[in-house]
Amino acid sequence: MGLDDRGLLFYAFLMAKIKGAECASEDIQKLPFEEALKKLEAIVEAMEAQDLPLESLLARYQEGTALAQLCQARLNEAELKIQQLEKSGKGELTLKPVAHPEEPA
């Protein structure tokens, strides 16, 4: 096998990894908050406790970053909903519209 053949195999390997990462990212977006948080905690524990090869560390770091972003987005959504809650005269909680601050020009 020549150098060109090995380079082609390496390229094919990288493309397969990238394609797999894109599919995994789409799957992550569908996770409920609690499940995403558990997966994130497991990734952090594994990265801290194990002597993993660089490729595994990078893959776990990438997945962990996507999970952290998902969790933060879900928390931001929940915070917005909480801010929208207000009690009516009967003591019932209802959603009120949130006034978004105007963006600076």
Q: 17-74: per-residue pLDDT in tens?
A: 555 554 466 788 899 999 999 999 999 999 998 888 999 999 999 999 999 999 999 9
CB 53, CB 60: distance < 8 Å: no
DSSP letter for 52, please.
Answer: -
Judging by beta carbons within 10 Å of its beta carbon (0-12, 13-18, 19+), is residue 15 exposed, middle or buried? exposed
The CATH code of domain 31-95 reads: 1.10.287.1040
* pTM tops 0.75: no
